[in-house]
Amino acid sequence: MAGLKNWVVAEDVVFKPVVAPWSPEYRLQRPQLTRQVLRSEDLTAFSWGRPLPRYLYLASNQTNAWGHQRGYRIQIDSPLGMHIPLESDMERALSWGRYQLVVTQRKEEEPQSSSIYYQNDIWNPSTAFADFINNETLLGEDLVAWVTASFLHIPHAEDVPNTVTVGNRVGFLLRPYNFFDEDPSIFSPGSIFFEKGQDAGLCSVNPVACTPHLAACVPDLPSFSYQGF
| Cβ-Cβ contacts under 8 Å for 24 (sequence gap 6 or more) | none
The CB density around residue 89, as the number of other CB atoms within 10 Å, is 9
- Given the candidates 2.60.40.10, 2.30.29.30, 2.70.98.20, 3.40.50.300, the CATH classification of the domain at 6-191 is 2.70.98.20
φ, ψ at 76 (rounded to 5°): -95, 130
Note whether 185 and 191 are within 8 A (CB): yes
> In angstroms, rounded to a whole number, what is the distance separating the alpha carbons of residues 145 and 106?
9
pLDDT of residue 208: 72
Mean predicted lDDT score pLDDT of the chain:
89
Greater confidence, 194 or 134? 134
pLDDT tops 80 at residue 160: yes
Domain segments of the chain as ranges: 6-191
Residue 30: C-alpha distances to residues 17, 27, 52, 55 (Å): 6, 9, 21, 19
User: In degrees, to the nearest 5, what angle opens at C-alpha 91 toward C-alphas 86 and 97?
Assistant: 90
Which residues neighbour 175 within 8 Å (Cβ) at sequence distance 6 or greater? 72, 73, 75
List pLDDT tens digits, range 52-68.
999 999 999 999 999 99
Instruction: Read off the pTM.
Output: 0.78
